[in-house]
Structure 1
């Protein structure tokens, strides 16, 4: 195994056990059986390695979410499943819980706001494709689909800028907004 991959695997273990704040570079170096100085050959900081760990962990959890949601169910049921599975998988995960914690959340939000983060976010692309296709299958015109997907862009924007810390009840509020928005779209 390549040294950087070993370091990344060790960092994932340490962050999963301790969380971002309590984890130290020395903990990561020790777990990967390398000197602290060697850590800096691969990463410039704890923040840099954490970002790589977070992106990989987020991708792993989102792939699991994609597998567990029944995307053919009624639209409002899909939204309920999506939020329930997301909550179930993210809540106990110390790495992904950092999304809302001061000290590192700004780095994470900044990454996913940038084009690189959006492009690397397979779950984001999957949702756009899945919901656009579903809207078209339901008979929505391309123009109406584009208009509705603009609301999805707004929700993504909100998710990249607001944390539970800044807006208590954020997760439940965004779930309610999405659920009733989708229910309204598909009610005939």
Structure 2
């Protein structure tokens, strides 16, 4: 990666983290990076494109911290509580990640994360899927039942990639309850 693109990416991260998506414009990012606005377009086609790249990097960074922090060998329901608590604290206090529910940009984010590329490249999603599958195997579920349960996991991921607080009141808390009782039922 060349230095100008690195400067641009760093500037975008800082400006989006301070201002969020809506209150950021390309000229601010370019100015902070020390480049002309026209030079911005050598690297990105739009604010949406640079934001998506910034979001992906920030999401990976925060999710890596989450993987390191959560006690994955604990009781499954406790793991879910820990997972949701950390996630909500991380998202609510981060103007980049909080955009997941912003109607202005959420469609772009959701579309990416539900795409084949997004699902494959999202290391946290892959990590959760694999740890869940491993736990199901430890519980002695046969392959057919495991696959059916994993389909429910994929359905929950689908829901998260298609619904926001705007679409469903108290979405985050409702999702937390759904996942908690799903896990409780599977591992009781």
**TM-score, length-normalised on structure 1?**
0.97
Distance (whole Å) between structure 1 residues aligned to residue 175 and residue 117 of structure 2: 24
1:41 maps to 2:46: no
CA distance in 1, matches of 2:98, 2:36: 28
TM-score (norm 2): 0.97
1:57 matched to 2:58? The reply is: yes
TM superposition shift of 1:2: 2.2
CA RMSD of aligned residues (A): 0.8
Aligned to 1:82: 83
Q: Which runs of 5+ in 1 are unaligned?
A: none
CA distance in 2, matches of 1:120, 1:3: 25
Q: 2: CA distance between counterparts of 1:20 and 1:167?
A: 22
**Structure 2: 5+ residue stretches without partners:** none
* TM superposition outliers: structure 1 runs of 4+ over 3 Å: none
Task: Specify the alignment match of 2:109 in structure 1.
Answer: 108
Give CA deviations for 1:41-86 in whole Å, capped at 9, x if unaligned. 0001111100000010111111111111100000111111110110
The C-alpha deviation readout for 1:96-146, integer Å capped at 9, x for no partner, is 111111211111111111111111100000001000001101111121111
Aligned twin of 1:179 = 180
